[in-house]
Amino acid sequence: METSKRRSSRVQVAFPIRVRGMSKEHKFFDEKTQTIFVGKYGFMTRLQSLVDLEAEIHVVNLKNDVPGTFRVVWVNTRIQDGFYQVGVETYEVPDDIWGIYFPPPESSNDLGEGQAWLVCRTCQQKQLGTVPQAELEYLEVGVLVARDCEQCKATTTWEYTMAEAGPDAAANPSSDVSKAKLEKRARKRVNLNLTLKVIRQMGGTVVEDLARTIDVSHVGAYFLTSQIYQVGERLKVILPYKKDGVGRPIGARVIRIGQPKGTAQNAVAVQMDTALSLPELGANEPAGTDVTAVKKVQVELRSKGRVPLKLPIKVTRQVHGMLLEEVGETVNISRTGAYFQSSQNYSIGEIVQVVLPFKKGEQPIPAHARVVRFDQVPGTSTRRVAIQMGGV
């Protein structure tokens, strides 16, 4: 399959879908789930059934009842919270299955594909390549990819791995090998049961949450909590937290939420703004290593391209002590924000709460956002507001 086919902007949106096909155990399955990321040439989702690479699945978008056939291009064989993460590409799909226009990326940095070291299971050669319909934070041990192998002269199964950086990496920090080494150091997880304190802003009120970690890396943590979080939510974390101790809060962002089987608690993954330094994690970045470079490795492959998309959006704000609500419509959205039409005036830097997409009768947990631009449409009373999700 040509790489150019996969080059389009993608957005994080939860479309309800119905998926039918044959599992790896050759059993028919019929599941209702949601998309995680959607693009012109495929999407990412999670299934309770483990499927084979190259398997065909039948998908129906339950919002418009438009069906399509997709092909599995990667699958994480490690079950997480009762689900397997799956990336699929179009096979026989109508252009309007999602009702979204996907413009081409503005540059090669906007492909929205995770890049990782892969090893062919047949010939054992290693290559640094992209994983279609994937995101960097979702790539981990257990991910299998269907990919053409020049040495095997066939499409073979490739497994996510991590190649060791050679001696040239230190001399050339911008090389792919050096990036892979930085990524490996940043993503290394250690099973640690530590107390952490989370500080959140909800409706103008400071809310604190004491939780226990499942695992920790230099740039993130995965923990259990009874509270409900929102992907993209900005918060502050003290890790490890000790009562009566003095801990410096670190800015963080929620990147994944799950609910482990057999428990009513939620599992939340956060990515730190600043690298952690814990003895249990081993040596931190060596002297001279820029923490920003580590973070850049994690985010540089995420597409920030905007996609024209009209969705209802509900915005709640505090103005002079009064709670104001507004239901508007987006002009376009991206992975990190939205641009919507409004009849109200907003201030740059203003913190608001957002429900997107908004559906009357439902009561989802709103996400925090910051106003980053305010435009007055010439000749009309219409305003347009740009917000950055989690920009608190």
- Residues 82 and 257: their CA atoms lie apart, in Å, by 13
Cα angle for residues 255, 259, 261 (degrees, 5° grid): 145
Whether 218 has a pLDDT exceeding 80, the answer reads no
Joined tokens for residue 88? 């699929």
- Whether 87 shows a pLDDT value over 60: the answer reads yes
Q: 107: which 2 tokens?
A: 């540059």
Query: In the predicted model, is pLDDT for residue 267 greater than 60?
Result: yes
pLDDT of residue 185: 47
Q: Residue 390 in contact with residue 367, Cβ under 8 Å?
A: yes
Residue 11 is predicted with a pLDDT of 73
pLDDT at residue 9 in the model:
60
Tokens 């892969």 appear where? 118
Q: Where residue 287 falls among pLDDT bands split at 50, 70, 90?
A: very low
Position 1 scores a pLDDT of 39
pLDDT of residue 61: 92
d(CA 143, CA 385): 39
Residue identified by tokens 């599941």 is: 31
| Secondary structure of residue 279 in the 3-state scheme | helix
DSSP conformation letters of 78-119: S-BTTBEEEEEEEEE--TTSS----PPPSSGGGS--EEEEEE
Candidate from 63-77, 92-106, 158-172 with smallest mean pLDDT: 158-172
Whether the predicted pLDDT of 154 surpasses 80: no
Q: Which of 2-6, 57-61, 365-369 is the least confident region?
A: 2-6
What's the average model confidence in pLDDT over 137-165?
Answer: 69
Residue 61 amino acid letter: N
Amino acid identity, position 307: V
The pLDDT confidence band at residue 296, using thresholds 50, 70 and 90, is: very low
pLDDT at 65 over 70: yes
Is the Cβ–Cβ distance between 232 and 254 less than 8 Å? yes
What are the structural domains, with CATH classification, of the chain?
1-161 (2.40.10.220), 195-275 (2.40.10.220), 309-389 (2.40.10.220)
Q: 161-196: per-residue pLDDT in tens? A: 654 434 343 334 444 444 444 444 445 677 788 899
Instruction: Say what the pLDDT of residue 281 is.
Output: 67
Query: Cβ atoms within 10 A of the Cβ of 73, count?
Result: 23
Q: What pLDDT band is residue 44 in, cutting at 50, 70 and 90?
A: confident
Instruction: Give yes or no for a contact between 59 and 67, defined as CB atoms under 8 angstroms apart.
Output: yes
Burial of 22: CB neighbours in 10 Å, binned 0-12, 13-18, 19+: middle
Please report, for the chain, how many H helices and E strands are present, in that order: 3, 24
Query: Is the bond preceding residue 105 a cis peptide, omega within 30 degrees?
Result: no
* pLDDT interval class at 140 (50, 70, 90): low
CA 42/CA 61 separation, integer angstroms: 13
Q: Which of 138-147, 320-329, 352-361 has the lowest mean pLDDT?
A: 138-147
Q: What is the pLDDT of residues 223-259, one digit of tens each?
A: 988 888 887 788 899 988 888 777 788 888 887 777 7
Q: Of 7, 4, 12, 6, give the one whose Cα is nearest residue 334.
A: 12
Residue 346: the pLDDT is 87
* More confident of the two residues 144 and 72: 72
The residue-averaged pLDDT of 186-208 equals 80
Q: 51-65, 299-313, 360-374 — which one is most confidently predicted on average?
A: 51-65
Indicate left, alpha or beta for 124 from its phi (over 0: left) and psi (-120 to 50: alpha): left
Least confident among 1-10, 85-94, 116-125: 1-10
Give pairs for 137-143: CB < 8 Å, separation 24+: 137/255, 137/256, 137/269, 137/271, 137/298, 138/44, 138/76, 138/85, 138/114, 139/114, 140/76, 140/78, 140/187, 141/78, 142/76, 142/77, 142/78, 143/74, 143/75, 143/76, 143/77, 143/116
297-301 own/partner pairs: CB under 8 Å, 24+ apart? 297/136, 297/179, 297/182, 297/183, 297/186, 298/136, 298/137, 298/183, 298/186, 298/219, 298/271, 299/136, 300/109, 301/109, 301/111, 301/112, 301/113, 301/114, 301/115, 301/136
Instruction: Please report the sign of the dihedral spanned by the C-alpha atoms of residue 354, residue 359, residue 363, residue 365.
Output: negative
Name the residue with higher pLDDT: 327 or 297.
327
**28-37, 41-50, 258-267: which has the minimum mean pLDDT?**
258-267
**% residues pLDDT > 70 (the chain):** 73
Distance of CA 158 to the CA centre of its chain: 22
Longest dimension (CA), the chain: 68
So what's the pLDDT on residue 76?
Answer: 84
Q: What is the overall mean pLDDT for the chain?
A: 75
Dihedral sign for Cα atoms in the order 113, 114, 116, 122: negative
pLDDT reported for residue 120: 86
Residue 222: both structure tokens together:
């995965």
